Amino acid sequence: MTEPIHITSPADPRLDAYRNIRERDLSAREGIFIGETFIVLEAMLLRPMSIVSMLASSRMTARVHASAMTAQCEAPLYTVDDAVLEAVTGIDLHRGVLAVGRRADFEPCAMSDYAPSTPPRTVLVLEDCNNI
């Protein structure tokens, strides 16, 4: 991984994927998703090749950089001051960490793959469920 890239302008095009995010943007946008919080980033770093880029506030830069290095993630890490972060995202992002990831290809499966073979045979399927 290269060194963190500090960005001072909210208009920088490298930040376009993070621009004016809303709750629904956290789930999916044209084959990508946006992960929020350091804990989510840690989970994303289990598949570092799926990460497109990371954005961290200045106060979170060292922590995010260390984790990305450990995971051998080659995605760029952009860092910004809190004011720039809020100007770009449109929200007060007090947790200070976002990452853009590529959605994995859908792997079709049959219900029988997950159906319990013995009672009770209750299966719960949730589509488009997030933030639980």
Predicted confidence at residue 9, as pLDDT, reads 96
pLDDT per residue over 57-99, tens digit each?
999 999 999 999 999 999 999 999 999 999 999 888 878 999 9
Q: Give the model's pLDDT for residue 132.
A: 47
Return left, alpha or beta for 31; rule: phi > 0 is left, psi -120 to 50 is alpha, else beta: left
Taking alpha carbons only, the member of 29, 18, 19 closest to residue 130 is 29
pLDDT at residue 42 above 90?
yes
Mean pLDDT of the chain: 85
Residue 96 backbone zone (phi > 0: left; psi -120 to 50: alpha; other: beta): left
